[in-house]
Chain A
Amino acid sequence: MTAKKRIKVIMAKPGLDGHDRGAKLLARVFAEAGMEVVYTGLRQTPEMIVEAALQEDADVVGLSSLSGVHNYFFPRVVELLKEKGLHDVLVVGGGIIPDEDIAGLKKAGVAAVFGPGTRTDEIIKFIKDNISGS
């Protein structure tokens, strides 16, 4: 076939949180790193996010939350992805997420959680190292 497919990322803002500086910044940085990025915009339900992942044949779903709803939304997105048979999609999250919540999120299937101050190249490296088939 043709050259290796570009990594496709869905950047999503679950819930009602409007803080999207981080999500938009990462969308730009990922694109510069050669990935294909779709930013969903605000106020996404888990269903909407998973639908976008399905439609776009995404490799990665990036979830950003600064309003404290990660414990509800992140696991729900993973669960719905699995229901749709999207077992290979890498789910990563970021935002204001207390350390003590991270273990639970990982157990629920979130591959990594990136807090404030994380370098963007670190996130890119994680994605490149961890998407399936690479």
Chain B
Amino acid sequence: MFDKEKIESIKTKKEEWDCGPVEKVCAKFPERRPTFTTISGEEVERLYTPTDIADFDYDLKLGFPGEYPFTRGVQPTMYRGRLWTMRQYAGFGTARETNERYRYLLQQGQTGLSVAFDLPTQSGYDSDHQLSMGEVGKVGVAIDSIDDMRVLFDQIPLDKVTTSMTINAPATVLLAMYLALAEEQNVPYNKVGGTVQNDILKEIICRGQYIYPPLPSMRLTVDLIKYCYEHVPTWNTISISGYHIREAGSTAAQEMAFTIANGISYVQACVDAGMEVDSFGPRLSFFFNAFTNVLEEVAKFRAGRRYWAKIMKERFGAKNPRSMMMRYHVQTGGVTLTAQQPLNNIVRVALQTLATAYGGAQSLHTNSFDEALCLPTEEAVTVALRTQQIVAEESGAADSIDPLAGSYYVEAMTDRIEDEIHEYIKKIDAMGGTLKAIDEGYIQREIQDSAYRFQKEIESNERIYVGINKYIMEEPPPTNLLKVDPKQQEIETKKLKKLRAERDQKAWKAALDGLDKVSRTDENVMSAVIEAVKAQATVGEICDVWRNIWGEYRPKEFV
């Protein structure tokens, strides 16, 4: 970008500036801190100049939107063509209540659905299971059988919306229910669009909703990917997630690095199962966090896109550019929200939304300001959605593609984060891959160390958090919180009892036996799962088939 002579001259002038005016001012008015760092602990310079990106090669590093290495975005026109999908994650209580919230959100201009399941569903237990006590309908909707799924999507045509489902260990089961429901609505599989999270590795690393040991879990992941390639071509088969890694305490660079490491494992597993990288590569998607430090987040997204493109092209030999595109959903940072002075969270979310827009995401969930207190109320969800709409329609952030490119700061930070990602990938490769690195507790410890460092910084006031360690106010306890009916489990248990008594026992048993048989071979389980859900087998019953074959995962704890 600059010739050598020019760089040298800028370097000299910068030194003069540092030793001259800067030193003089600092002697009288010292800077606020000895060093400045991002929320991830990346040191930030006083001033960035062309010398920080002296070797910058535009074609190699950036290229053009929609072209390799996709640093500037995955589509040629980005948000000038179509805004990102505004997709609020929602679900609570019964399928009926959640269906009402979905239809409300669609009326308000939301463009995609995102299903939050309760923890029993996510862990593969029915609502009447002993371990479901107290959890039914709490953090998401309770889905036991296809009957609940039918109510969840009542009056929502499955060829008109796309649906993202946060479901991992039992992803095959919930996708099977969705497909069976599409059939009932006469929507062909190739008109069904959406995403299942289906990312078991990050469950094991940090999110905790695992069921089976890693290897059979990965088999289910691969079966789903393969089935969709053959039958549901527009389904995003996995959402490789850094979101929860970041929530667990990682830095921005670690979030991207460990997510890409997991991505490499999934691609390798599919290749090992005999699939062509370009057959499934275009349907892989990602899911990231966005914190409040706008520039660091933008750099993270750009670095991740560039690095993933290289991995797919160079390491896995992908030929189809679509396989190289890191397409991703973003959710604003849950852990960045404070229970103190909760309205301040609206501002945090707005900045995080801006970072997401500048970063080039494909879809976004904005958190509601009351989420450090409870599930969001309708009012809070509306403000969160409006925040996206204001950034999209008023701020101008969506009008020019990758507008922060060329900033000395952003390019230098992008390079630095990419280097950090690369170092982690090298280290994990040397350990023998993510499964080994997880088994040894390496990834978990790296994340926990970052979480610990952050907490210490807050408690020593090295890092300021408004309402937590500065600008603290006495405030009355918050009111108007959303309550989930504690009778939920009773309601669901009654429904299950009826279902179990009234369904066609013969068909039900035959379907579960069929699933058991297929699962003991190398054949793809998906068709058998679809048969089972059609025969009204429950999530818990289907997951039990596999528990009996594969056992349950018990992690080592690394504290």
Tell me the A residues contacting B by CB distance below 8 Å.
15-21, 24-25, 27-29, 37, 39, 41-43, 45, 67-69, 71-73, 96, 98-100, 115-117, 119-121
Q: Which 6 A-B pairs have the closest CB atoms?
A: A18-B208, A72-B134, A16-B119, A69-B134, A99-B477, A68-B138
**Distance of A16 Cα from B452 Cα, bound (Å):** 24
Given contacts A116-B339, A117-B340, whether A18 and B477 have CB atoms under 8 Å apart is no
Whether A27 and B559, one on each chain, are in contact in the complex, defined by CB atoms closer than 8 angstroms, is yes
CB distance from A92 to the nearest CB of B (A): 17
CB distance from B117 to the nearest CB of A (A): 11
CB distance from B540 to the nearest CB of A (A): 13
Whether A120 and B459, one on each chain, are in contact in the complex, defined by CB atoms closer than 8 angstroms, is yes
Q: Mark B306-332, 1 if CB is under 8 A from A, else 0.
A: 000000000000000000000000000
Q: Is the interface of A mostly helix, strand, loop or mixed?
A: loop
User: Which of these, A21, A69, A72, contacts B247 with CB under 8 Å?
Assistant: A21
Whether B139 and A68, one on each chain, are in contact in the complex, defined by CB atoms closer than 8 angstroms, is yes
Is B184 an interface residue, CB under 8 A from the partner? Answer: no
User: Which of these, B138, B248, B559, contacts A67 with CB under 8 Å?
Assistant: B138
**Distance of A16 Cα from B130 Cα, bound (Å):** 11
User: Which of these, A20, A67, A96, A100, contacts B135 with CB under 8 Å?
Assistant: A67
Is B372 an interface residue, CB under 8 A from the partner? Answer: yes
Apart from A21-B206, A25-B452, A67-B119, what 11 extra A-B contacts exist at CB < 8 Å? Answer: A15-B134, A16-B135, A16-B209, A18-B203, A18-B207, A18-B208, A68-B138, A69-B138, A99-B477, A115-B339, A117-B340
Is B448 an interface residue, CB under 8 A from the partner? Answer: yes
Which residues of B have CB within 8 Å of A18? 119, 203, 206-209
Which residue of the partner chain A has the closest CB to B121? Answer: A16
Is B481 an interface residue, CB under 8 A from the partner? Answer: yes
Whether A16 and B559, one on each chain, are in contact in the complex, defined by CB atoms closer than 8 angstroms, is no
Which residues of A have CB within 8 Å of B467? 117
Whether B139 and A116, one on each chain, are in contact in the complex, defined by CB atoms closer than 8 angstroms, is no
Which residues of A have CB within 8 Å of B139? 17, 67-68
Q: Mark B114-145, 1 if CB is under 8 A from A, else 0.
A: 00000110110100001111110011000000
Tell me the B residues contacting A by CB distance below 8 Å.
119-120, 122-123, 125, 130-135, 138-139, 203, 206-209, 247-249, 335, 338-340, 372-375, 448, 451-452, 455, 459, 467-468, 477-478, 481, 484, 486, 555, 557, 559
Whether B131 and A43, one on each chain, are in contact in the complex, defined by CB atoms closer than 8 angstroms, is yes
Which residues of A have CB within 8 Å of B247? 19, 21
Which residues of B have CB within 8 Å of A69? 133-135, 138
Question: Can you identify 13 A-B contacts, CB atoms within 8 angstroms?
Answer: A17-B139, A19-B208, A21-B249, A41-B557, A43-B123, A45-B130, A67-B138, A69-B133, A98-B478, A100-B481, A117-B339, A117-B340, A120-B455
**Distance of A26 Cα from B130 Cα, bound (Å):** 28
User: Which of these, B133, B209, B478, contacts A99 with CB under 8 Å?
Assistant: B478
CB distance from B324 to the nearest CB of A (A): 32
Q: Which of A37, A73, A98, A120 has the most chain B CB within a 10 Å cutoff? A: A98
Which residues of A have CB within 8 Å of B555? 41
Which residues of A have CB within 8 Å of B125? 16
Whether B559 and A96, one on each chain, are in contact in the complex, defined by CB atoms closer than 8 angstroms, is no
Whether B131 and A45, one on each chain, are in contact in the complex, defined by CB atoms closer than 8 angstroms, is yes
**Distance of A120 Cα from B510 Cα, bound (Å):** 55
**Distance of A117 Cα from B139 Cα, bound (Å):** 21
Whether B123 and A16, one on each chain, are in contact in the complex, defined by CB atoms closer than 8 angstroms, is yes
Which residues of A have CB within 8 Å of B372? 96, 116
